[in-house]
Structure 1
């Protein structure tokens, strides 16, 4: 599941024998994306991992972030957006802490 989130959806391929236009050459193997109608049970499970990961992310994310990720087509896209948002929030926290420290350093007690 983590691989689907960090690297993207699993693409199921198959090897197909192709014949070159020149009949004097040997046939060669060609890799192509497998049709969903030809999937085995195990391949269907792998194909559904991205949808499962997307639904888990939707359930785990607070409502204020759902609007930012709702249009994503893959779990990886969602993950990348959430990662960027978290990094931005971390920078904002650091900036606020820095400002608070500066205000504290310049804080003076009045005479009264």
Structure 2
């Protein structure tokens, strides 16, 4: 049914027997509604079904912006324009996302799980805007974004792992294990509580 959204509403056609064929291809004309079969009626109704599906997914605010559209294709194009914007708006979004990536740092008091969620959100946003970083660029950025107390671990990761093959979730899994170890050592070692 995706073709209903990407193309114009389906037309029910028949061969025009009154017109001459051009280069062997028959000329097609729209059938009158009285000539439609049950299957043709279903096909003709697909645009209504698609519009209904799209309407049901929208809140009142967004619905108000597309309610004048007459086909599923028009609705989809309007939603795309509203959500993604034009070329300039996309470029601005990309620049902001790149700045978020460049400025990403683990905040004081932030857990690694929270940083993972926030950083992964930035990566997802960049990918959706068409910007792709290599595994090594992402891994190095994460390791540089960590506080100084992580230096020992990040150096060990750099020396022991192939950063070009290191996936983001694997990196965070290693770092979370280290965070867990640090937490246990801190609780057990009375000298760290002073």
Please say whether Structure 1 and Structure 2 have the same fold, judged by a TM-score greater than 0.5: yes
After TM superposition, the structure 1 stretch with the greater mean CA deviation from structure 2, 73-82 or 5-14, is 5-14
Question: 1:85, CA displacement in angstroms?
Answer: 1.0
1:57 aligns to 2:59 (yes or no): no
The structure having more radius of gyration, on CA atoms, is 2
Higher strand share: 1
TM-score (structure 1 length as normaliser):
0.70
Partner-residue secondary structure (3-state), 1:85: helix
> Which residue of 1 is the match for residue 74 of structure 2?
77
For structure 2, the 5+ residue unaligned runs are 102-194
Q: Which runs of 4+ in 1 moved over 4 A?
A: 92-101
> Which residue of 2 is the match for residue 8 of structure 1?
8
Partner-residue secondary structure (3-state), 1:71: coil
Distance change in 2, residues 1:63/1:93 (3 Å): farther
> Which residue of 1 is the match for residue 169 of structure 2?
none
Question: 1:12, CA displacement in angstroms?
Answer: 1.1
TM-score (structure 2 length as normaliser):
0.43
Partner-residue secondary structure (3-state), 1:61: coil
| Superposed CA RMSD | 2.8
1:9–1:74 contact (8 Å) kept in structure 2? yes
For structure 1, the 5+ residue unaligned runs are 20-26, 102-112
Q: Deviations over 1:12-64 (max 9, x none)?
A: 11012116xxxxxxx55532111112100100000000000001100001221
Higher helix share: 2
1:16–1:30 contact (8 Å) kept in structure 2? yes
